[in-house]
Amino acid sequence: MKELEQAGNAIRSLVTEWESRLSAIDEDILNGRKNRQNRTIKQILGHLIDSASNNLHRTVHLQYQPSPLQFPDYANLGANDTWIAVQNYREEDWSLLVKLWKYSNLHLVHVIGCISENALGNIWISALGEHISLLEMIVDYPRHLKLHLGEIGELLGKA
């Protein structure tokens, strides 16, 4: 399906574009600058790792569980900050984080390419009560990825 291919290509393109940029960031900058949510660059990338992981699990579950599916929602109601704190991304090795982010997203692209069209209408109910189809979730993921990579870009531009 064209939308899945476009989403996969967009994710792959962002990974290709950002991997070397992320790897080249000076250690002093990683924890020294914060976005509007008071997250460092390490914490933002950690959030993107969590996002890839959660979207991977949703993608798998939405292909075999009864629809609609209530799946734990890490991103709303402040839970994503809890995930960041529990995993202590500020203290994690940066090169490991960059690799984990890269390969988590590339694996997600692989799984997206394996989705049965019959499952695309299956629904996930978010913590906010939103009904989101598997297709909608996948199509929206590159936007989310781009949003947070843009925050990292803004922090890199600050002197």
CATH number for the domain spanning 84: value is 1.20.120.450
Long-range contacts of range 140-147, CB-CB < 8 Å, 24 or more positions apart? Answer: 141/7, 141/11, 141/51, 141/55, 141/108, 142/7, 142/10, 142/11, 142/14, 144/51, 145/11, 145/14, 145/48, 145/51, 145/105, 146/10, 146/14
- The mean pLDDT of 154-158, rounded to a whole number, is 87
Q: Which tens digits make up the pLDDT trace of 55-101? A: 999 999 999 999 999 877 777 766 788 888 898 899 999 999 999 99
pLDDT at 75: 72
pLDDT confidence of 28, banded at 50, 70, 90? confident
The domain total for the chain is 1
> Pick the residue with more confidence: 159 or 29?
29
Range of the domain at 57: 2-157
CA 121 to chain centre: 21
